């Protein structure tokens, strides 16, 4: 294999804005001629960036899916590309948009019509990680070995992803964003529910109709910025904090440097809010972040992308390639939203039957819906060296636990990080030719992840996207 080009798209439907990128990914076998093939993405090129439009809504609870679809197909036309040419990519619905009544319906409908999208996801942790990739924070953490926090601030949320050596070591999401308080004709027009909750203990809270210059607007922003500073410095411990969305900060190392992305970041670094033509607190929030003393104690780094960081990450950074040492039944692909259960192999082989059975039983408990079994992927982690006899034993155990329940709708799906997929997949099929098997490697996942596996590419590899699914409620 010399090189192979595939096309990817990223679509971000956010609280304030919607945007899209189309990219090309260049694949190449980076292993030597005498080595096991290892296909990697060696080049990522953005081919088309859409304008940033205001996210269309039918009303405050319903996203205007028809308008978004028209926007997407218009971008394909401008890029001179057909949806059928897209092999992979991500549609993400982020911030307050993920709380709307039809959020799940929108991303899944678009995923089915706007190309071979492997991903239809939402969730603040994933959003933060994609933004960190698109902003260049991941690469910066590889280059410097510093612990770097990327803070992606949009209209409704601040998604924090903390990186070291190119790996995510923690995440946290806060209700901090430019549209949490909006104005119209010089007065307060809307106040988001997290801000109302924040003001519950105030003697006289801010109200709709108050003037835009009311000092309580400043007080709300000060509390947002102070909460962010506490979070980054490890001082946020209150699980019921009104500005916390989901879990507490979960990194265990002090942060050295910070980088901002998102719409508010355009005001921070570029002093340019032209892309944020909204009557809200975004610009003032950016200035307050710049002036906060505790935040200034961190090293500030400049991102590669600001407003487009999340969509750039979605379009260029979501896809991994499972190598040439795989075994797949092509007729069961593509697979979407397959949950992962980890099966640790750091036990004696004589205990392997119990380990695999425990993982399968746990998967059934977690993922079955009203006794209807769903597909799941077994991730074999901490895999030791396996002899021929070990491989035979492992495959017999896998079949014993899974063969009777497998079908085209529920294939046996095995994932591993090391290059055993082909030998294990072929051994399983040699023992039992009737079971559909997907056995892939060179992919790192863990329990709680979901994976999408695309159709086999001409080079014999498959694109795989690892993600977290979470449509959160208000």
User: For residue 130, what pLDDT is reported?
Assistant: 81
Contacts of 274 (CB under 8 A, 6+ apart): none
The confidence band for 63, taking pLDDT boundaries of 50, 70 and 90, is very high
Alpha carbon distance 166, 150 (integer Å): 12
User: For residue 281, what pLDDT is reported?
Assistant: 93
Q: What is the pLDDT of residues 369-392, one digit of tens each?
A: 555 677 899 998 877 788 888 889
How long a stretch of residues is the chain? Answer: 474
Q: Say whether pLDDT at 470 is over 80.
A: no
Pairwise pLDDT comparison (97 vs 79), residue with the higher score? 79
Alpha carbon distance 113, 123 (integer Å): 22
Q: Say whether pLDDT at 325 is over 60.
A: no
Q: What is the pLDDT of residues 93-152, one digit of tens each?
A: 876 777 788 888 888 888 778 777 756 555 677 778 888 888 889 889 988 889 999 999
Structure tokens, 206: 């801010």
Q: What percent of the chain has pLDDT above 90?
A: 34
User: For residue 215, what pLDDT is reported?
Assistant: 95
Query: Average pLDDT of 18-34?
Result: 78
Query: Average pLDDT of 23-27?
Result: 87
User: For residue 14, what pLDDT is reported?
Assistant: 81
Structure tokens, 84: 């059928």
Q: What is the pLDDT of residues 195-241, one digit of tens each?
A: 999 999 999 999 999 999 999 999 999 999 999 999 999 999 999 99
Query: Average pLDDT of 435-449?
Result: 81
User: For residue 138, what pLDDT is reported?
Assistant: 85
Q: Quote the mean pLDDT of the chain.
A: 84
φ/ψ (deg, to 5) at 96 = -65, -25
Q: How many Cα atoms sit within 13 Å of 268 on the Cβ side?
A: 29
User: For residue 371, what pLDDT is reported?
Assistant: 59
Structure tokens, 293: 């003393």
User: For residue 474, what pLDDT is reported?
Assistant: 42
The confidence band for 473, taking pLDDT boundaries of 50, 70 and 90, is very low
Alpha carbon distance 34, 30 (integer Å): 11
Contacts of 6 (CB under 8 A, 6+ apart): 24, 25, 27, 87, 88, 457, 463
* Of 139, 157, 137, residue with least CA distance to 149: 137
Alpha carbon distance 242, 222 (integer Å): 14
Q: Please answer whether residues 1 and 26 qualify as being in contact, where contact means their C-beta atoms are separated by less than 8 angstroms.
A: no
Structure tokens, 254: 């002090």
CA 208 to chain centre: 35
User: For residue 318, what pLDDT is reported?
Assistant: 59
Q: Is 216 exposed, middle or buried (0-12, 13-18, 19+ CB in 10 A)?
A: middle
Contacts of 79 (CB under 8 A, 6+ apart): 22, 47, 48
Query: Average pLDDT of 320-346?
Result: 77
Domains along the sequence of the chain with CATH: 4-122+313-319 (3.30.420.40), 137-303 (3.30.420), 325-458 (no CATH)
* Of 472, 474, 473, residue with least CA distance to 126: 472
The confidence band for 472, taking pLDDT boundaries of 50, 70 and 90, is very low
* Of 309, 366, 296, residue with least CA distance to 338: 366
Q: What is the pLDDT of residues 165-198, one digit of tens each?
A: 888 888 999 999 988 999 999 999 999 999 999 9
Lowest mean pLDDT among 34-38, 363-367, 459-463: 34-38
Q: Sign of the C-alpha dihedral, residues 10, 13, 15, 18?
A: positive
Q: What is the pLDDT of residues 261-319, one digit of tens each?
A: 988 888 888 665 554 456 899 889 999 999 999 999 999 999 888 877 777 766 665 56
Query: Average pLDDT of 448-463?
Result: 78
């Amino acid at each position: 294999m010399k090189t192979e080009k595939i096309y990817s798209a990223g679509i971000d439907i956010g609280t304030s804005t919607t945007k899209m990128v189309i990219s090309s990914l260049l694949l190449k076998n980076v292993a030597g001629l005498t080595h096991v093939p290892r296909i990697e993405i060696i080049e990522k090129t953005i081919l088309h960036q859409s304008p940033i439009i205001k996210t269309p809504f039918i009303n405050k609870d319903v996203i205007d899916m028809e308008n978004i679809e028209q926007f997407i197909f218009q971008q394909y036309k401008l890029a001179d590309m057909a949806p059928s040419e897209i092999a992979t990519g991500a549609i993400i619905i982020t911030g307050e948009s993920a709380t709307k009544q039809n959020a799940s319906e929108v991303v899944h409908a678009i995923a089915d019509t706007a190309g071979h999208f492997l991903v239809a996801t939402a969730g603040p942790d994933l959003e933060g990680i994609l933004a960190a990739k698109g902003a260049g924070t991941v690469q910066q953490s590889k280059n410097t070995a510093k612990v770097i926090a990327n803070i992606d601030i949009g209209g409704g949320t601040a998604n924090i992803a903390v990186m070291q050596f190119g790996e995510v070591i923690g995440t946290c999401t806060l209700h901090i964003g430019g549209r949490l308080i909006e104005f119209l004709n010089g007065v307060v027009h809307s106040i988001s529910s997290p801000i109302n909750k924040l003001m519950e203990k105030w003697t006289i809270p801010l109200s709709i109709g108050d003037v835009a210059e009311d000092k309580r607007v400043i007080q709300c922003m000060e509390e947002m910025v102070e909460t962010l500073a506490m979070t980054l410095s490890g001082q946020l411990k209150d699980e019921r904090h009104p500005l916390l969305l989901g879990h507490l900060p979960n990194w265990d190392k002090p942060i050295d440097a910070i980088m901002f992305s998102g719409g508010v970041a355009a005001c921070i670094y570029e002093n340019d809010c032209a892309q944020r033509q909204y009557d809200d607190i975004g610009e003032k929030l950016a200035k307050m972040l710049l002036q906060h003393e505790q935040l200034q104690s961190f090293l500030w780094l400049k991102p590669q992308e600001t407003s487009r960081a999340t969509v750039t990450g979605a379009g260029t950074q979501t896809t991994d390639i499972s190598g040439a040492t795989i075994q797949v039944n092509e007729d069961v692909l593509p697979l979407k939203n397959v949950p992962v259960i980890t099966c640790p192999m750091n036990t004696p082989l004589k205990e392997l039957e119990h380990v695999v059975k425990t993982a399968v039983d746990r998967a059934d408990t977690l993922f079955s819906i009203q006794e209807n079994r769903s597909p799941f992927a077994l991730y074999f982690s901490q895999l030791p060296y396996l002899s021929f006899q070990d491989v035979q034993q492992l495959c017999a155990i896998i079949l014993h636990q899974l063969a009777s329940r497998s079908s085209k709708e529920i294939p046996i799906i095995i994932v591993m990080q090391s290059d055993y997929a082909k030998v294990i997949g072929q051994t399983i099929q040699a023992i039992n030719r009737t079971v559909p098997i997907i056995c892939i490697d060179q992919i790192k996942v863990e329990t709680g992840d979901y994976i999408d596996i695309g159709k086999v590419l001409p080079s014999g590899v498959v694109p795989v996207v690892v993600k977290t699914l979470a449509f959160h409620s208000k």
